[in-house]
Amino acid sequence: MADSEYPEVDNVLEFFELQYPYINVQTKDQYDAGIATEPRYLKYNHFSMYYDLAVDEFRADLLSRGGISATYAQMRAALCHLIADYCEMSNPDWSYLRQKVETEPGLPTIDIERGGDTSPRMAYKKLLDIITKAAWRAAPPYNGSSDVEPYFYRGMLEPDSGISTDSLRTHQNLNF
């Protein structure tokens, strides 16, 4: 299992059920009691394996972006997106990039084209970009660096007091 800094499997599963309700997962209680679920359900132990893979991938992505940190909520969402991506990639329907669906006579044929990424993977990449941008603007303990300029919101860059933005960026104590 993953480090204690990451959300527990059950916490991720709880959010996963909200984020991806169309991917059914066996609960831990069902698994512990030996209650078999329908084949369309992802078994709890398989979800746990995907969880371990997701933690490893997410940790590697954070390290590759400078060792940045993510919040608890961001970690849960990222792990859910990765697990959903693993589920969709293992689905046989995903193996095609283009498919024609014949409808009833007289109706048009439907062309379905997919990109290289699943929707959960695209959501993960977007979230990772948001985490990275936030970390660049954060204080040093969160951004993996000690010499990153802090983030100032737009209103601070043009103060009414006549103080230049350069003096704001030198981290001086300002008395307004």
DSSP H helices in the chain: 9-19, 28-33, 44-64, 72-89, 119-136, 140-143, 154-157, 165-169
Q: What is the pLDDT of residue 152?
A: 45
Mean pLDDT for back-to-back runs of 10 residues, the chain (176 residues): 76 95 91 84 94 97 90 95 92 66 77 78 95 79 50 45 48 47
pTM over 0.85: no
DSSP H helices in 94-144: 119-136, 140-143
Closest CA to 25 of 16, 34, 33: 16
Q: What is the pLDDT of residue 118?
A: 84
Domain boundaries, the chain: 9-169
Dist. CA 59–CA 50, nearest whole Å:
14
Query: Each residue of 138-175: b (16+ CB within 10 Å) or e?
Result: beeebbbeeebeeeeeeeeeeeeeeeeeeeeeeeeeee
Phi, psi of 56 (to 5 degrees): -60, -45
Region for residue 34 given its phi and psi (left: phi exceeds 0; alpha: psi -120 to 50; beta: otherwise) = left
Can you give the C-alpha Rg of the chain in angstroms? 23
Q: What is the pLDDT of residue 76?
A: 96
Classify residue 24 by its DSSP letter.
Answer: -
Q: What is the pLDDT of residue 96?
A: 62
